[in-house]
Chain A
């Protein structure tokens, strides 16, 4: 397992920074019209670049801020436009890194059949797992890489590697956003085998298209239909006396969350009756043998063919599968949905309490474009609210954002998921394992508390000191060497790299004080080198680094 190693023992008087990565290069051809929100922004050029890389990416890598800022507003906006069209960005390095993972490209059926759980294996071999010695024997006999655990690890590592290293950063940020919007919990039954294709096939291809397509892909995903129980929802009918344990009636779960969490929002104007009627529309949207095949299927037999009325709109009888599609059309085109999605996007990208004027404009853009997500993103990223002084560092990083941005700041690379996942979990976020359908909250209040802060400080120190297994690469691509007694200039170089700007004077003063003993001159007149690990750990744990 790789460990963080401190590279370079060159005695340098000042920091050297590796050349910027290609995606941070200024555009060759300036874009004709730059949004006024950007050009009129009160932020300084380096702040603008840092802001973009903190919001549309998982934080800057060394050198990226300088490279982006150098080209001025035209380069910044060209970068945004490129990120909005991810297929134009070459990401073959990351693809090549992930290609060897055995499970990321498989179908549900392949995953289900080739990667059993230990319980299933035990059952197949007639082994009682409550017998500890029998359990150990079985565990010793099977290759852990042939168990479902492998699927979960591959899923996590591909997410974390892409978040850390993909050049299509906005795509990864949006994937995390929309996964959380359409949350499913990997720990619910068959979902352990279904989340791989859910993220890969339902979410990832639809992040930049029309919301209706994304919504439809989710509604056709076995992962969601399993998670919210719709696969078993049946038109209401008497129980079959010969099979009393078979489903024979409605299950409201998905229909309710579809309206409350996926589209209209809780105050979106629907009633309990609408929930029932929507559930009737969705009867029959099911899964072909979730424990063997796991593909989407429409079961005519299960479907309620009666007429329905939803949000006052009549749905005629005998429309079959089309009922569900019409329901999704209705929900996706509702102004309530436009406002709900606009609020969530603005909260994620601008501030916890986004300005209503911005939300309104985004909602209008959504409605005017038939729910074109890229049009909404473009409006958002060009808005004066996004580029305002108030929005700068206004968001507290979620644990995943904190962890990934730390690795990026240190120019590190990940090669194992578990220790990293555990560190993120200690800060309060279990990736792929949020139990309620609401997903994680997207406000500072949810993430700032004593326990989570302690976990953040601990993480920063461990990472910077190379104590976190599974991360390798440069810690800091420079060393302070033998230098003058004043560590100030060097500290500021490190701040610039890790943070993309200076610490507040208050924090910087403490950092310098804390480092003072290490920089004291030795009796022979030499100056002891600064403890770079401690310096980096302090900056990663600083209040400034907790914000994006």
Chain B
């Protein structure tokens, strides 16, 4: 295996993981862009999506695989998007006029609740959850998409799973860009992000637009959880924290509030993780990623694509 082949392999792994991170990062960046809230519960929302995906797979039993995939990609985003919207409606909406710390602390509380739901969900007496024994243990996600190499090379693996990641995520990102740039609802979203008061004066229902943002961000996290589960085949109730941190790092790296920035940041973090695993050491990868985060924030707090923020009087 030549050095180039090793690098190419890491590139594929890094980009596939990076696309998943990017999907989660989009949810962070959209919510931050519109109400300046670091949505701490987003990673755990992603985790709950994976648990729903596993439940669906368990309930579907022996249905044909393409049908199961379709169901997963329809129901999971609907669930996570709806849940995210509901949380905004019940918790954050009441805190809009409050201090900036209040919604953040509320989000930490929501993240705790999600974490707890994940733990209890793992104890559901279903076959796929190990009949409810050892609720906290990692769960095996069935291999629905094959691991077979699509390339003829023996040293570089590009599997059907990698293909799935790109087939699902790239059109989704294009659709999101179109939605935000071209539709009326997307325009309203950008207006609210720029200036809430002015948007309200123009007749935009600000609360509804914020709700939509939570819905779409959560839906993207739901797609990410399906793709992640199919790609990695293991899920556990504490995985939301790690995934959320990576995604948040990605969002900050790309410039928080910027959609292309989140995707770019996600790819960078995916590649950085893969290269660190290969060339440094797996156990130092987290330190490496967080060092990137700290360095970016210290030297270029607006990220790669973010706009400069000036403290207002």
A, B: real partners: no
**B residues engaging A (CB < 8 A)?**
none
